[in-house]
């Protein structure tokens, strides 16, 4: 399953949810949390359930519930009353127990769904490794805006105030073998800025990036899809590996060892997933 682009749509806006599902996003998230005013939560739950009831989409469909201790249980009870999403996103994940609680709520409704855990608080960052290692967690997502608010940091375009947390999240995800999804780029009209930030995220090791507008999806997908030159290099490396017993060998004048072989395997796998 590829998760290059993770596009959010407000759960109380059926037309926007359907539009998101028609985009080229790998994952669409019907949002019951931040995108919905408190007074509209129940209407949003019912709207999400109705959209799921007749939705036809090839992408992964996820529902972001509210945090544990607020109304996650009510969200799950209502939404899972009909056709089920492919995954559930848990905001404000601060400990492995939060994930286990959601997993238990799903199990009570005979639903085995992967949980995408949002790391967006100081406690969540410090426990990112245990959250990622929890059986139900299938991805870690890094939320910089909420983290900055939690620690009292001032958000800057450089992002140095959240760099440690951003790197810790991707390392925790990699160690656990789950996907790592990068922060939202909030200026959805600035495609050059989005492209630059997404390139940085890919360089850090992230597998994908969150989006708040369909126009951001092509830029994100492109950044997380290997280009032709990289694919051809990776295929030459793997072909040479298969034809030798040596631990180190040469391709295109470059000495290839285990780390570069792993990089080549990653490139080929990313290209396969992106089709």
Residues annotated catalytic, as ranges: 257
Return the structure tokens found at 74.
């009510």
The SS3 assignment for 85 reads: coil
Q: Which residue has the tokens 């997404």?
A: 198
- Neighbouring CB atoms inside 10 A of 249's CB total 16
> Which residues, 6 or more positions from 144, have their beta carbon under 8 angstroms from its beta carbon?
120, 155, 159, 162, 165, 166, 183, 184
E strands, the chain, where? 5-10, 27-31, 60-64, 87-90, 115-119, 137-142, 179-182, 208-211, 249-251, 254-256
User: Rounded CA gap, 93 and 167, in Å?
Assistant: 17
| CB burial readout 103-116, b (16+ within 10 A) else e | bebbeeeeeebbbb
Question: How far is it, in rounded angstroms, from Cα 119 to Cα 178?
Answer: 14
**For residue 193, how many other CB atoms are within 10 A of its CB?**
14
* Residue 34, token pair as written in the block: 């931040």
Query: Measured between alpha carbons, how far is 269 from 275 in angstroms, rounded to an integer?
Result: 10
Determine how β-strand 27-31 pairs with β-strand 5-10: parallel
């Amino acid at each position: 399953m590829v998760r290059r682009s993770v596009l959010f749509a407000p759960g109380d806006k059926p037309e926007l949810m359907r539009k998101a599902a028609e985009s080229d996003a790998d994952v669409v998230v019907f949002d019951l949390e931040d995108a919905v005013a408190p007074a509209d939560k129940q209407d949003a739950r019912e709207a999400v359930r109705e959209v799921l009831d007749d939705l036809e989409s090839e992408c992964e469909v996820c529902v972001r519930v509210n945090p544990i201790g607020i109304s996650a249980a009510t969200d799950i009870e209502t939404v899972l009353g009909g056709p089920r999403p492919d995954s559930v996103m848990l905001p404000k994940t601060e400990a492995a127990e939060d994930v286990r609680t959601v997993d238990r709520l799903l199990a009570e409704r005979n639903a085995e769904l992967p949980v995408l855990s949002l790391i967006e608080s100081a406690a969540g960052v410090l426990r990112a490794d245990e959250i990622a290692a929890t059986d139900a967690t299938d991805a870690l997502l890094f939320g910089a805006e909420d983290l900055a608010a939690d620690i009292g940091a001032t958000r800057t375009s450089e992002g140095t105030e959240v760099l440690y947390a951003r790197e810790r999240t991707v390392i925790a995800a990699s160690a656990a073998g789950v996907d790592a999804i990068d922060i939202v780029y909030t200026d959805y009209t600035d495609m050059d800025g989005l492209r630059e930030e997404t390139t940085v995220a890919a360089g850090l090791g992230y597998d994908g990036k969150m989006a708040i507008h369909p126009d951001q999806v092509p830029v994100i997908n492109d950044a997380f899809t290997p280009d032709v030159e990289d694919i051809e290099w990776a295929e030459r490396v793997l072909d040479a590996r298969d034809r030798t017993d040596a631990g180190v060998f040469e391709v295109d004048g470059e000495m290839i060892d285990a780390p570069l072989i792993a990089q080549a395997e990653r490139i080929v796998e990313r290209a396969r997933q992106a089709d």
